[in-house]
Amino acid sequence: QVQLVQSGAEVKKPGASVKVSCKASGYTFSTYAMHWVRQAPGQRLEWMGWINAGDGNTKYSEKFQGRVTITRDTSATTVYMELSSLRSEDTAVYYCAKDGGYVPSRLDYWGQGTLVTVSS
């Protein structure tokens, strides 16, 4: 069965960077894209970007362009999301989510989420 297991919670200071991992299993990793979506407290879900797990191509939301980098390690079937220049507004739960087939598409499996807290 498809599983996406994310790394643990992080606490960072403003201006720092955070890197969250998402280990995929149960499907052919390189066949499907992986998205990152975040949810700030009490806010709606917000799409950040995706990576083609096969060729490594990426696409980012303009809101995060220049601050977010999504990479993958095919041998480890793991996708990473790094967000830099953190500010308090970046405090949120970050999710990886597998694309359902033809990017863009529905998000058919989600990781459990990683809470990132930005605080001085």
Partner 1 sequence: DIQMTQSPSTLSASVGDRVTITCRASQSISRWLAWYQQKPGKAPKLLIYEASRLEGGVPPRFSGSASGTEFTLTISSLQPDDSATYYCQEYVTYPLTFGGGTKVEIK
Give yes or no for residue 35 binding partner 1 (CB under 8 A): yes
Give yes or no for residue 34 binding partner 1 (CB under 8 A): no
Give yes or no for residue 45 binding partner 1 (CB under 8 A): yes
- The smaller minimum CB distance to partner 1, of residues 34 and 97, is found at 97
Cβ(119)–Cβ(113) below 8 Å: no
Chosen residue from 7, 46, 71, 84 binding partner 1 by CB under 8 A: 46
Instruction: Indicate if the alpha-carbon torsion angle 5, 69, 99, 75 is positive or negative.
Output: negative
Distance CA 58, CA 112 (A): 22
Give yes or no for residue 54 binding partner 1 (CB under 8 A): no
Chosen residue from 61, 74, 88, 119 binding partner 1 by CB under 8 A: 61
- The smaller minimum CB distance to partner 1, of residues 54 and 100, is found at 100
Nearest 10 degrees: Cα torsion 109, 39, 84, 23: -20
SS3 30: helix
Give yes or no for residue 27 binding partner 1 (CB under 8 A): no
Give yes or no for residue 26 binding partner 1 (CB under 8 A): no
Distance CA 68, CA 87 (A): 13
Site for partner 1 in 81-110 (CB under 8 A): 95, 97, 100, 104-110
